[in-house]
């Protein structure tokens, strides 16, 4: 059974600071996704990582994938209040059934 764990579960940080959210998964995969969810809303796609060593950046967010370590990171640079949300990683375990297994989520609060 594929397990996907995120760390930390809760993160409170000041504006302007940098931080990293970690996503570990338990089985081989080279397809990993990051999503943002605002309260009461559905998911917004942030990044699609499809190979080992993939790195993508959008604004203050950067995501990377290390398939050998079964680890993905979401790095936040110079955080601003608008980034407050819950962030999920999700893994497609390449079992041929296209299913995504979601991480536990990281609730991020940016304090002015």
Partner 1 sequence: GAVVSQHPSRVICKSGTSVKIECRSLDFQATTMFWYRQFPKQSLMLMATSNEGSKATYEQGVEKDKFLINHASLTLSTLTVTSAHPEDSSFYICSARGLALVNEQFFGPGTRLTVL
Cα 10 to chain centroid, rounded: 13
Residue 13 interacting with partner 1 (CB under 8 A): no
- Asked whether position 62 contacts partner 1 by CB under 8 A, the answer is no
Choices 11-19, 28-36, 66-74, 76-84; region in contact with partner 1 by CB under 8 A: 28-36
Buried-state track 71-90, b at ≥16 Cβ within 10 A, e below 16: ebbbebeebeeebbbbbbbb
Q: For residues 79 and 48, give the distance between their C-alpha atoms in angstroms, rounded to a whole number.
A: 21
62 vs 100, beta carbon nearer partner 1 = 100
Residue ranges binding partner 1 (CB under 8 A): 31, 33, 35, 40-43, 45, 48, 50, 88, 90, 97-105
């Amino acid at each position: 059974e594929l397990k996907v764990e995120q760390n930390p579960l809760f993160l409170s940080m000041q504006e302007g600071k940098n931080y990293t959210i970690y996503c570990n998964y338990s089985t081989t995969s080279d397809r990993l996704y990051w999503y943002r969810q605002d309260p009461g809303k559905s998911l917004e796609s942030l990044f699609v990582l499809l190979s080992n060593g993939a790195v993508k950046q959008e604004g203050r967010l950067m995501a990377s994938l290390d398939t050998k370590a079964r680890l993905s990171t979401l790095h936040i640079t110079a955080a601003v209040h608008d980034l407050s949300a819950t962030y999920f990683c999700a893994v497609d375990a390449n079992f041929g059934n296209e299913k995504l297994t979601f991480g536990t989520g990281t609730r991020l609060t940016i304090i002015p």
